[in-house]
Chain A
Amino acid sequence: MSAVIEEHHDDHDHGPAKGLARWLFTTNHKDIGTMYLWFSFLMFLIGGTMALIIRAELFQPGLQFVQPEFFNQMTTNHGLIMVFGAIMPAFVGLANWLIPMMVGAPDMALPRMNNLSFWILPFAFGLLISTLFMEGGGPNFGWTFYAPLSTTYAPDTVTFFIFGVHMMGASSIMGSINIIATILNMRAPGMTFMRMPLFVWTWLITAYLLIAVMPVLAGAVTMMLFDIHFGTSFFSAAGGGDPVMFQHIFWFFGHPEVYIMILPAFGIVSAIIPTFARKPLFGYDSMVYATASIAFLSFIVWAHHMFTVGMPLAGQLFFMYSTMLIAVPTGVKVFNWVATMWKGSMTFETPMLFAIAFVILFTMGGFSGLMLAITPADYQYHDTYFVVAHFHYVLVPGALFSIIAAVYYWLPKWCGRMYDETLGKTHFWLSFIGVNVTFFPQHFSGLAGMPRRIPDYALAFADFNMISSVGAFIFGFSQLFFLYVLIKTITSGRPATAQVWDGAKGLEWTIASPAPYHSFTTPPVVTLENNPH
């Protein structure tokens, strides 16, 4: 098999088109991956700015900078933008760049649809963010948009929010279909399922989760739309509906969504740790099975997000036990990462530092998750800063650190230049300190009873909040430093070798750095030498 690239009669170089047209019209997985990654970085900075507005307001008790109404818009849009605009597109960008190279494919399976998946996003987020400047303000009902806050009591702009979510969903579903088709259909000969890099495996399962739950989210917002504009009563008890039903439908989407944001991270860390420990990944097969188990369990745990709404006892018990079961496959993974490092010849380059921080801090987020899974204890923790601390520990030093680690790890392959190790390590330590100073105190304020999503708080929480705000600004500005490191690398980093890391295995390291515009026009031969598993 060899890839045929459609040629213009006057253009035989197969290279990218020139100027803006390259980016608007491209069908190349690397271009699209690059756009996804820069888009997610932009969203990360916008969502981060909102986080800093929140933390500035919470620096001291009392109202300092913003009104409560605007504060609510900030918490809502911070969550929506970070989840749907920063973390998810970043993982899709990595999938675009890496999966075709990792499985030895010429490109993604459906290249035009790939471009469509990306270009929907700027429109969707343009629409979402523009609501902030409309009459009545943007969405202010929290990123979970519970009815009736998001229906009966919502600002008019909720209509645009709903259509924005529809567009993001369409983008995610098409992106996922593309990834699944690529993995199932485009692997090089010899790249059997149980030889695929774990990043490919975790994305295969993530894509399945996305196709399973994004339509459910679309259904949820559609019911909202009908309740708001067409007089239905899905979420109104007076007509025989139930606002709690909204929460069930939302979290049936929402819990798999949580794993959508962490499974690809598992794949990244499973690629980085073996490289810098100079040992093969410990327990490859069990990693695959653990990922599949987590995906399965994600469908039957959703109501642990709503223990306090008044569920029957049997429901509470079922969701408590099923939630705790997730600790088993997750524990398998953490054990495997640690066992991979055990007696390895470890070095601590920037990607490895982020990966190790991921293992430790994500595990902490997992443990606080176990605490929250205990139904009676959750009665105390529910909607407090303890929950905020928990999910930020799994999302920031979890998902986000893995993305940063991936960027440092594969950037030399993408742009052909090495980043500056000192700058990278500086970025790591600033981020590591910043993230812990920000979120660790929130465990304490939460356990002491500070509710989430409020612009003002009791004096007793003042110290913890002040520390947290200081940490947030350290963390936020460290990411501007990251931007500087990236630009410096891309413009003036020293040239990278094809292998880049001496311990790295996998097909992507067998091609030149920077990777040619079309990698693997003929499929490579997969051997034990060039493939880690």
Chain B
Amino acid sequence: MANPAETPSYYIPHSGWYPVWLAASMFVMLVGLGSYLNALKTDEGGSLLFFYVGFAGLSVVLYQWFAKVISENQVGLVSGQLKKSYVWGMGWFIFSEVMFFAAFFGALFYVRNFVMTWMGGDGGKALTGDYLYPEFDNTWPVITNPDPSVFAGPKESMAPPPLSQWGGYLPFWNTAILLTSSITVHFAHTGLKNDNRKSFITWLAVTVVLGVIFLGLQAEEYIEAYAHLGLTLDSGIYGSTFFILTGFHGFHVTLGTFMLLIALIRAIKGHFSHEDCFGFEATSWYWHFVDVVWLGLFIFVYLF
């Protein structure tokens, strides 16, 4: 493999079928999902066939595309300058993800600062609450919704118990696990930088395991919420913000764990060296990003 720093070229790939196929698969997948959701509202019920077909197409093309990029790097086509483009690309992609979560955090803050205050009959727009739902009290987490006949509230929320009982508080353990996983992925990186293959692979494997445990606990928490707490998507604004924030975060952890798993497989195959490891580094940045989002979630969704 050529040393990237000495390759004086910017590689422009020849034309290929991946992008069009990806766009078409995405189209089939989303049309399938949309038709299914619309059919659910009728008596007939829907089928997810097209969604699966599109998803399969998407998976195939992504596998081929990434495999192609990896093989291009292995034959030395990817120069240092192109790698810089990858770095910019991943960095700005993560920024776009930050803004995606910002929309949901923004909704949460708006609801708690303005909507709850006004609906509770305080502040500059207190009349709104007095007029619409005079019975409603501004408390967070919201157990009794403004109109309980339309949106029955949850029986319990995810609010934390006293500190002495945090041993049984799942989100606390999830926080500990995810923070630890950020450290272990950093250990893996350090191992790679020191050309310590064993340490690299071991710590990466530990990170994957931690990611899976986190997801397992999150699933446990959701089951608990639905089965025992009455906390559901349709239990009013507390459930709405809780599930959209933790749900999209969990989706990103799933994606991140999958990426880490791929990185682990590639590490075992010996794809990474200490000066050529963008695939792994990008994954670790993504992992740190989902970790930081979780901290925001733990503080603003669970604790306060």
Contacts and interface: CB of A to CB of B under 8 A. Distances in A.
A112 interface: yes
Contact of A24 (B20, B30, B96, B100): B20
Interface stretch (A83-91, A179-187, A341-349): A179-187
B9 A4 contact: yes
Contacts of B104: 219, 223
Contacts of B133: 237
Contacts of B37: 159, 225, 229
Contacts of B240: 226, 232-234, 239, 241
A359 interface: no
A178 to B, nearest CB: 8
B8 A2 contact: yes
Interface in A349-408: none
Nearest to B7: A4
B151 A238 contact: yes
Interface string B8-52: 111111111111101110110011011001101100000000000
Given A26-B15, A211-B99, A116 B22 contact: yes
Interface in A178-235: 178, 180-182, 184-186, 211-216, 218-220, 222-223, 225-226, 229-234
A115 B82 CA distance: 17
A180 B93 CA distance: 11
Interface in A1-27: 1-8, 17, 21-22, 24-27
B81 interface: yes
B1 interface: no
B237 interface: yes
Contacts of A1: 8-10, 81
Given A216-B100, A241-B240, A310-B125, A127 B12 contact: no
Contacts of A240: 111, 115-116, 119, 142, 145-146, 151, 236-238
A103 interface: no
A116 to B, nearest CB: 4
A459 interface: no
Secondary structure of the B side of the interface? helix
Contacts of B103: 215-216, 218-220, 223, 249, 252
Interface in B107-140: 107, 110-111, 114-116, 119, 123-125, 128, 132-133
Contacts of B241: 234
A245 B151 contact: no
Contact of B89 (A120, A124, A177, A248): A177
A160 interface: yes
B216 interface: no
Interface in A241-257: 241-242, 245, 248-249, 252
B10 A3 contact: yes
B97 A166 contact: no
A456 interface: no
Given A4-B11, A180-B88, A245-B115, A211 B234 contact: no
B150 A119 contact: no
B119 A237 contact: yes
B85 interface: yes
A112 B18 contact: yes
B14 A213 contact: no
B220 interface: no
Nearest to A230: B233
Contacts, number: 251
A166 B33 CA distance: 13
Given A27-B12, A240-B151, A123 B110 contact: no
Contacts of B27: 123-124, 126-127, 167
B211 to A, nearest CB: 23
B41 to A, nearest CB: 7
Interface residues of B, number: 78
Contacts of A106: 10, 12
A126 B24 CA distance: 11
A245 B107 contact: yes
A487 to B, nearest CB: 26
A242 B40 contact: no
B151 A239 contact: yes
Given A230-B234, A252-B106, A3 B124 contact: no
Residue among A27, A213, A238, A239 with the highest chain B CB neighbour number at 10 A: A239
A262 to B, nearest CB: 21
Contacts of B10: 1-4, 105-107, 186
Interface in B79-95: 81-82, 84-86, 88-89, 92-93, 95
A505 B16 CA distance: 35
B125 A215 contact: no
A264 B8 CA distance: 32
Contacts of B99: 211-216
B56 interface: no
A238 B12 contact: no
B151 to A, nearest CB: 4
Residue among A1, A112, A216 with the highest chain B CB neighbour number at 10 A: A112
Contacts of A7: 14
A127 B107 contact: no
A111 B23 CA distance: 15
A55 to B, nearest CB: 32
A223 B107 contact: yes
A489 interface: no
B77 interface: yes
B147 interface: yes
A371 B233 CA distance: 43
B12 A109 contact: no
Nearest to A232: B240
Contacts of B119: 237, 240
B65 interface: yes
B171 interface: no
A184 B16 CA distance: 26
Contact of A177 (B93, B115, B244): B93
A10 B97 CA distance: 43
A212 B132 contact: no
B5 interface: no
A36 B22 CA distance: 18
Contact of B85 (A109, A119, A239): A109
B23 A119 contact: yes
A5 B123 CA distance: 64
A357 B225 CA distance: 61
Given A3-B10, A185-B85, 9 more contacts: A27-B13, A177-B88, A212-B99, A216-B103, A231-B233, A234-B240, A238-B151, A239-B240, A241-B237
21 contacts: A2-B8, A3-B12, A6-B77, A107-B12, A110-B85, A112-B18, A116-B19, A119-B20, A159-B37, A173-B96, A186-B81, A215-B99, A229-B41, A234-B241, A237-B147, A238-B147, A238-B150, A239-B151, A240-B119, A240-B142, A252-B103
Interface of A: 1-8, 17, 21-22, 24-28, 105-107, 109-113, 115-116, 119-120, 122-124, 126-127, 156, 159-160, 162-163, 166-167, 170, 173, 176-178, 180-182, 184-186, 211-216, 218-220, 222-223, 225-226, 229-234, 236-242, 245, 248-249, 252, 310, 312-314, 518
Which 7 A-B residue pairings sit nearest by Cβ, starting from the closest?
Answer: A219-B103, A231-B234, A240-B237, A239-B151, A116-B19, A238-B147, A232-B240
